Amino acid sequence: MSKTATALIAKAQDRSAVFGVVGLGYVGLPLVMELIGAGYRVLGFDVQRKLVDALNAGRSHIRDIPSDAVAAAVKTGRFSATADLGRLKEPDAISICVPTPLSKTRDPDVSYVLAVTESVKQALRPGQCIVLESTTYPGTTRELLLPAFESTGLKVGEDFFLAFSPERVDPGNAKWQTRNTPKVVGGITEHCLEVTLALYQPAIERLVPVSSTEAAELTKILENTFRSVNIGLANEMAIVCDKLGVDVWEVIDAAATKPFGFMKFTPGPGVGGHCIPLDPHYLAWKMRTLNYKTRFIELAGELNAEMPEFWVAKVADRLNDAGKAVRGSSVLVLGVAYKKDIDDIRESPALDVIRLLQQRGARICYHDPHIPHLHEDGLDLRSTALTPESLKEADCVVIVTDHSTVDYAAVARHARIVVDTRHALPRADTHA
């Protein structure tokens, strides 16, 4: 092992290593807090100056991280944020947590990763360990980051260290957080792996080493593809049951009593968030470059993407049963976040439901206890209060997100028609 590696491991053990976390969003900020909790000093990097200023003033923009915790970290002098990427030479370890969206043509958009790679390259010095955490296709770390860093003349595994370690954060999950969720790590070389494990070990309860960065990259995409495919299957089952006149929830609950060989997934309005609708396409794209078509990924993506249309057709049917057209009817969309109890609307199927209903001439209002203002995709709406009056006024209420704090008994009592995409109401109260 090189002297540089030994020195970095020693710095991890006595916590004198300084961490840099690049990208202070849903993934980066929770990681910062765990590293601070482990006793490290952390420099946070983000290109959004307002965000940097807010964090330095002790204000959190991530729901799972209270402002008090950020303020306390700033007060210890062990956390500060900066928009000056030139300071990337200061940290010993750099965790990259920037977005990896899709382009308009649904291909990987690695421009954020490339921008950070360039910034790290400009600052790279011997004794640094760089860990990519952003979800991406297998090969990214070795094909994009490694050549850029080695172009400085420094040698991987000896002068600097490079690894991939996917983040598994689940916003809103009270039980599983960054610290107690096992974390997979794959290094470019054996020493890269050892150094990365030593650096993360104080902050994460269980590390899961794998043999390469590709294995680590693919692990994350397998996890999200697994969810996408199984949600797709549950959604197809919902369509099947609808055609057969069978209650899909009854069937799923009954199947879930099997103590082995079955895992419960539930249907809904589609999938949302920064992971499940996007990540599998990173792999599909990569495999297209190798002339292989990933059929499960495509099929699940199609099924999940069709669900808003399925539910909008249900709204139209229920209104029709009541002698009304969609055009001119008022529809209250209940919940617009992409899943329950969070304030994130990225890729939310609610946006598609709203758009499709508007295209058919419906008048839309919405209620979401976590999203006071919906300013997205050409929409500019404010959350209406959920009262007996607002429920009675709507020609139809469509439950898209099943937030825990909503009084569904009141919804069932006062709404004229309810279309429930989430099984939020007790069965007897559901009219769809």
Ligand X SMILES: NC(=O)c1ccc[n+]([C@@H]2O[C@H](COP(=O)([O-])OP(=O)(O)OC[C@H]3O[C@@H](n4cnc5c(N)ncnc54)[C@H](O)[C@@H]3O)[C@@H](O)[C@H]2O)c1
User: Looking at beta carbons, which residue is closest to ligand X?
Assistant: 25
Residue 87 DSSP label: G
**Residue 225 lies near ligand X (rule: CB under 6 A):** no
Nearest to 429 by CA among 249, 234, 243: 249
Q: Identify the residue among 78, 274, 339, 367 touching ligand X (CB under 6 A).
A: 274
Binding mask 370-409 for ligand X (x = CB under 6 A): ----------------------------------------
**Spatial contact of 124 and 86, defined as CB atoms under 8 Å apart:** no
Contact status: 342 vs ligand X (CB under 6 A): no
Structural contact between residues 132 and 141, judged by C-beta atoms closer than 8 angstroms = yes
SS3 268: coil
Give rounded-to-5 percent helix, strand, coil for the chain: 40, 15, 45
Q: Quote the least distance from Cβ 226 to ligand X, whole Å.
A: 14
Per-position x/- string for 7-46, each x denoting binding to ligand X as judged by CB under 6 A, each - no binding: ---------------xxxxxxx----------------xx
48 binds ligand X (CB under 6 A): yes
Residues in the chain: 432
Least distance to ligand X, CB of residue 266, Å: 19
Stretch that binds ligand X, among 97-105, 232-240, 349-357, 413-421 (CB under 6 A): 97-105
Active site residue 97: no
Instruction: Please report where in the chains the tokens 């439950």 appear, as a residue.
Output: 399
Q: Rule CB under 6 A: say whether 134 interacts with ligand X.
A: yes
Q: Could you give the string, one character per residue 53-92, with x where binding to ligand X holds by CB under 6 A and - elsewhere?
A: ----------------------------------------
Judged by DSSP in three states, 354 sits in helix
User: Residue 251 class from Cβ within 10 Å (0-12 exposed, 13-18 middle, 19+ buried)?
Assistant: middle
Q: Which long-range contacts (CB under 8 A, 24 or more apart) does 149-153 make?
A: 149/117, 149/120, 149/121, 149/124, 151/121, 152/121, 152/124
Q: Which of 7, 54, 71, 115 binds ligand X (CB under 6 A)?
A: 115
x/- mask, ligand X, residues 165-184, rule CB under 6 A, reads: --xxx-x-------------
> Cβ closer to ligand X: 112 or 285?
112
Cα dihedral 272, 275, 280, 286, rounded to 10, equals 130
Catalytic pick from 129, 275, 365, 396? 275
- The alpha-carbon radius of gyration of the chain (Å, integer) is 24
Tell me the site size for ligand X, rule CB under 6 A: 27
- Using CB under 6 A as the binding rule, whether residue 157 contacts ligand X is answered as no
> Quick check: 409 and 343 in contact, CB under 8 A?
no
Q: Give dist(CA 402, CA 425) in Å, integer.
A: 9
Catalytic residues: 275
**Residues contributing to the site for ligand X (CB under 6 A):** 22-28, 45-48, 51, 97-100, 112, 115-116, 134-135, 167-169, 171, 274-275
